[in-house]
Amino acid sequence: MAEGFFIIPFEKHLKSHFKRLNEEWLEKYFVVEPYDAQLLENCEKEIIEKGGHIFFGCLEDSIIGTYSILPPKNNVVELGKMAVTASFQGKGYGQQLLHHAIKTATENGYKQMLLYSNRRLENSIYLYRKFGFIEEQIEKSPYERGNIKMRLKL
């Protein structure tokens, strides 16, 4: 791990960072959709209280990244709301967050992790493939921007 970088679990006082980091990339590439807004505004109720997880990537005393593992369905979890602030992208922090997400899902006994993304996010798709995610037929994405579905067997 990079010097001074560590990952911490969700705490109430960090909620605004989850929203800030996700809105930053959504507004850069797409729009904040109603489902995004619901998860970001009510992350405790919609993610944590339903059995999901939220983590934050910290560099020294700054929150620079986040991700969530959405509540499981049939022992499958969805990686969602993964974001690294623009000035820290391309420096390996996203890889560290993704590694942590896979480890967390495995430790919690989940058998598969899926995600929805957009082909326009080439660097993200490359990263997911690097970690073993395989593209599969997309039925209906929960996001209008979602045009690729990927799955990882844990």
- Per-residue pLDDT band at 142 (split at 50, 70, 90): confident
Rounded to 10 deg, the angle between the 34-41 and 15-29 helix axes is: 160
For CA atoms 122, 127, 133, 139, give the dihedral sign. Answer: negative
> Is residue 56 left, alpha or beta, with left meaning phi > 0 and alpha meaning psi from -120 to 50?
beta
Report the DSSP beta bridge partners of residue 76. 73, 112
pLDDT in tens, 30-77: 999 999 999 999 999 999 999 999 999 999 989 999 999 999 998 899
**Which domains are present in the chain?**
5-114 (3.40.630.30)
Sequential DSSP letters for 79-134:
EEEEEE-GGGTTSSHHHHHHHHHHHHHHHTT-SEEEEEE-TT-HHHHHHHHHTT-E
Is 0.85 surpassed by the pTM of this model?
Answer: yes
